[in-house]
Chains A and B, each alone.
Chain A
Amino acid sequence: MADTPNRDDTQSAEDLARDVLITRVVDGEASSADWKTLAGLAATDQRVWAELAEQQQAHDELCRAVEIATAPADSVELSDLDDHLSAPNSMERRLRAVGTWGGWAAAAAVALLWTTGLNPTEPMAGDMGEQAGLVRIGDSPEDAFDRYLAAGRADGTVVAEIPDRVVRSVRPLESGQVEVTYVRQVIERRTVDETYRRAMDEFGRTVEVPVPVAPAPPAAAAAPRAPRAF
């Protein structure tokens, strides 16, 4: 076993015997001889009772947390795996479940995280901040943005820009002009290696869970994707 314990050199035999004794009591494994030994120990060192109480409390706390953390294991049935093994498109299955539960509107709103297979050191066509090659000295932000759209359309990473610009705020200025803050929406397309869904862990914390996706049937995969006009 890796990470094999080796604490013999840091703990005396006497301390170890004491720890083992307390452990037996905490775990309900103590014999009557153990109880006698404990009573004898406590007669000379009253701290042993406090130590026992501390260990008992720590054990109870640990077990409460472990019980909750491992409870989801009880919901894993092999009968569920029949579906899993025969149709490994787990994502489809999950989305179907969500769709059944809350309609496709809810399914479509499931937040997904994608992991790309891109090398992070390579500039990505869709990422303005890393497009040193796309931004020229003297370019206005508008020019640079247009260049990004053009380059993206050329390599297929930009599908379109939605013409509607969504207004976030409007603020009158002293000059009599109006400052408008808005969102420009660009539809991008990426080929990704893996998908993740967001889920709650056993303590209600948000975690990312890998969602396996089965490859599309060859015919569908081979069919060119028609660009959509906006």
Chain B
Amino acid sequence: MSDRRRTSAGLIADAIDGDRDALRDLWREHRRWVGAIVLAHKPKDIDVEDLVQAVAVQMVAKIHELREPEAFKPWLRAIAANTARAAGRRTTRRRKHRLRLVGTARAEERPEPAAPEKHEASDQAKRVMDLARTLPEGYREPLLMRCVRGMSYRQIGEVLDLPETTVETRIARGRRMLRELVEQEDASPAPATGGARVEA
């Protein structure tokens, strides 16, 4: 390991230079918030894991084009957001042209129920997340990222290329908007989870 690897900037620089170990470590360090960005933009019926994998492929293929290590996080964030948005556009476009032919699986070969830990999130938690995903992007991204292992305002700011104070303000406003959405949905006679929309 080179000396500069000890810092995050050094790791990024090594990865840009083609060091595969640095690239692997760099990915591990950042993949979780990439998941949050993907979650903020992906359509409901696309797997987070598949999109994160697509982001990883893009990162590996294009990181050598990056000139400034400081630009790495916003660059990776842009890849994640664009990948998830593109998946959404494709889904919408192709659904119109879809012919469904579903094979018959025998009962014992049907997908096994998800592991219990996958159901830990309560319905209320899922509802709050679905509503958070309807917030304008400027609010939902920092709000979701804040939940990724307690990312600090500074770390979120580095990814979004925003000052800490702006991140803080957006999280505060985002939470208020989210609370209003929840109240609005609670008050509505026929709530449609995830269907709410807030205009910026």
Contact = CB atoms under 8 A, between A and B. Distances in A.
Interface of A: 1-7, 11, 15-16, 19-20, 22-24, 26-29, 54-55, 58-59, 61-81, 84-85, 102, 105-106, 109-120, 124, 190, 194, 198-204, 206-210
Contacts of A67: 147-148
Given A66-B144, A78-B60, A112-B103, A204 B118 contact: yes
B179 to A, nearest CB: 6
Contact of A200 (B39, B105, B114): B114
Contacts of A199: 47, 111
Contacts of B61: 85
A48 B170 CA distance: 20
B48 A72 contact: yes
A208 B39 CA distance: 16
A31 B198 CA distance: 32
A140 to B, nearest CB: 27
A58 B178 contact: yes
Interface in B17-56: 20, 23-24, 27-28, 31-32, 34-36, 38-39, 44-50, 52-53, 56
A91 to B, nearest CB: 13
Contacts of A118: 97, 99
Given A62-B143, A84-B53, A112-B101, A19 B31 contact: no
B179 A58 contact: yes
Interface of B: 20, 23-24, 27-28, 31-32, 34-36, 38-39, 44-50, 52-53, 56-57, 60-61, 90, 94, 96-106, 109, 111, 113-114, 117-122, 124-126, 128-129, 132, 136-139, 143-144, 146-148, 150, 152-153, 160, 168-173, 175-179, 182, 200
Contacts of B170: 5
A192 to B, nearest CB: 8
Contacts of A65: 121, 125-126, 128-129
A81 B173 contact: no
A110 B147 contact: no
Contacts of B139: 5
A187 B139 CA distance: 51
A105 B103 CA distance: 13
Contacts of B125: 61-62, 64-65
Contacts of B48: 69-70, 72-73, 201-202
Given A204-B119, A209-B50, A74 B31 contact: yes
Contacts of B177: 7
B31 A55 contact: no
A27 B35 contact: no
Given A77-B28, A111-B105, A118-B97, 19 more contacts: A16-B169, A23-B171, A27-B171, A62-B132, A62-B144, A63-B146, A65-B125, A66-B39, A66-B148, A70-B48, A77-B27, A79-B24, A112-B102, A115-B99, A116-B98, A201-B47, A201-B48, A204-B119, A207-B47
Residue from A54, A64, A66 having most chain B Cβ neighbours under 10 A: A66
Contact of B147 (A29, A63, A81, A117): A63
